[in-house]
A and B are shown apart, each in its own frame.
Chain A
């Protein structure tokens, strides 16, 4: 096993972790189920590719643009769907995933269609991705332990009680979605740079499902559980490349069995250091 290969797997793990942290905030902490977050990765990836390729932006600015653009789209989707109680967002999230894919495939002049956008500058080596992942990870941990984090959890556990206590549940859900889309947008952009090209098929429904499966498996409401699960999934996908056709079946089984047997996932609401210190979260 060469160092290059190992580096590649580590970068993939970090990229998956950034995206999964975003989904974890929304689904695990805020209780909003999504099946379209690959769309935000796709938006981020294309924003970077086009920003650097066509407008010759330096990569830090293109990367920021990727996150901001994903957040903006999330805001536009979130406002009509998250102010309602019910499964409206879940349904819309699948629709969004499809819509983004169709737009990217058909907007040939901008995205170069289904064949993909090649020649993206490979700035995303292990050190860049590692640094960004660390910074975004720390920001996320701080966010979940802040006043916002507690409000998010209140929205998940009892929206009615939360609103009686003065939490604006609609705004909180939208904030959570916007932040989570930012994470996915950045992750998509880093992924595009790491691969040096981007294709709409990279961000399909199975990618969205993978993100949600990672979060559920890691434990709803545990950030370190999410990262642990991202590591497990990245390794499993690498180790069993030959068994790709069983991959989706396994994701499905993970979702069902986790919900039936241990809905709190591997970590529950605990973070890893709670276990190390031997006290409850």
Chain B
């Protein structure tokens, strides 16, 4: 029973990391209608900035985290400016954006391979991982911290989207970018804000994942699971992305804990296929119909 509770919390903690990736990915998808495969790169950039701020610059956790948020956010904006905006301006097929994003993902990953090497690095123990006792069972304090931080950031994002003018503009653009632009929304600036937010949230997840596992250039590959979570929840829907992420995190940990950790990645893929067969719009997705 207590191991079940531990695995559940472990899954919620992993799901939190997925959720922070998946909301950024969904946000970009809802506006530009393409899967930004470079999203995993922002997570890795955030992770490395945090690592070097802690080890080389001797900063504390909070300044290091803020630095990595800003750094990852800026590189997301820069990626959009360099690789996507020229394609977007031409009004070309979203296929081109997809290919360019895959290219950027490879460039970012291999930049780190060449710059700092492919080896695994452990983040200094700045986030406590000691076990603590809750309701009679021992759980990892790290998992609780991750869950708390992720939930407050997701709440913050929700408030930003509901209560601010830019939030309103983003929600309007997710229905129809062109109409929103005609209503006076500066699309380029809006896209930059969306990418900054997406990159910053991904970097938080990057720090968590680097503590949970280790830091290495291919860590960004984990975003594919966040993409699957976003599809399960409903592509383009933010609450869906969060729900899908927690569902996937818990499922993965239960499979790893009670069946075998070898099959957990296969289960993720099966979940994707089953979702697409049974409920292609996802749990909370809008209806899939093309606008003419």
Contact = CB atoms under 8 A, between A and B. Distances in A.
A260 B86 contact: yes
A98 B107 contact: no
12 contacts: A91-B224, A95-B272, A98-B265, A99-B269, A156-B95, A157-B93, A159-B290, A248-B113, A249-B110, A249-B114, A259-B100, A263-B92
Interface in B206-263: 221, 224, 227-228, 231, 235, 262-263
A80 B292 contact: no
Contact of B276 (A92, A216, A249): A92
B96 A248 contact: no
Interface in A193-214: 205, 209, 212
Contact of A95 (B87, B109, B263, B268): B268
Interface centre among B34, B111, B224, B228 (most CB of A within 10 A): B224
- Top 4 nearest A-B pairs (CB, nearest first) are A255-B103, A252-B106, A256-B103, A252-B107
Contact of B102 (A81, A103, A160, A209): A209
Given A95-B268, A263-B96, A88 B231 contact: yes
Contacts of A245: 110, 113-114
A251 B99 CA distance: 11
A106 B265 CA distance: 12
A123 interface: no
Contact of B266 (A35, A102, A255): A102
Contacts of A83: 280
Contacts of A96: 269
B105 interface: yes
Contact residues on A (Cβ < 8 Å of other chain), bracket: 35 or more
B273 interface: yes
Interface of B: 29, 33-35, 82-83, 86-87, 92-93, 95-100, 102-107, 109-111, 113-114, 221, 224, 227-228, 231, 235, 262-263, 265-266, 268-269, 272-273, 276-277, 280, 288, 290, 292
A33 interface: yes
A87 B35 contact: yes
Nearest to B79: A256
Given A106-B262, A252-B103, A246 B272 contact: no
Given A209-B102, A259-B103, A94 B280 contact: no
Given A87-B35, A95-B224, A95-B268, A249 B92 contact: no
Given A246-B114, A249-B106, A249-B114, A255 B99 contact: yes
A42 B87 CA distance: 34
A31 interface: yes
A257 B86 CA distance: 11
Nearest to B105: A252
A244 to B, nearest CB: 11
Contacts of B92: 263
B21 to A, nearest CB: 13
Contact of A99 (B29, B231, B265, B280): B265
B87 A263 contact: yes
B231 A209 contact: no
A256 B276 contact: no
A259 B99 contact: yes
A166 interface: no
B35 A254 contact: no
Contacts of A256: 82-83, 100, 103-104, 107
Contact of A212 (B34, B99, B105, B114): B99
Contacts of B97: 259
Interface of A: 27, 31, 33, 35, 77, 80-81, 83-88, 90-92, 94-96, 98-99, 102-103, 106, 156-157, 159-160, 205, 209, 212, 216, 220, 245-246, 248-249, 251-260, 263
A130 B252 CA distance: 46
A77 B274 CA distance: 11
A33 B98 contact: yes
Nearest to A82: B276
A106 B82 CA distance: 41
A102 B93 CA distance: 33
B276 A80 contact: yes
Contact of A35 (B33, B34, B102): B102
B143 to A, nearest CB: 26
Contact of A255 (B106, B111, B265): B106
Given A85-B288, A85-B290, A99-B269, A91 B104 contact: no
Contact of A81 (B87, B107, B110, B276): B276
A127 to B, nearest CB: 36
B220 to A, nearest CB: 12
B266 A103 contact: yes
A209 B95 contact: no
B252 to A, nearest CB: 13
Contacts of B224: 91, 94-95, 98
Contacts of B105: 252
Given A248-B109, A256-B107, A260-B83, A98 B95 contact: no
A99 B266 contact: yes
B34 A87 contact: yes
A91 B95 contact: no
Contact of A31 (B93, B104, B109, B268): B93
Nearest to B36: A87
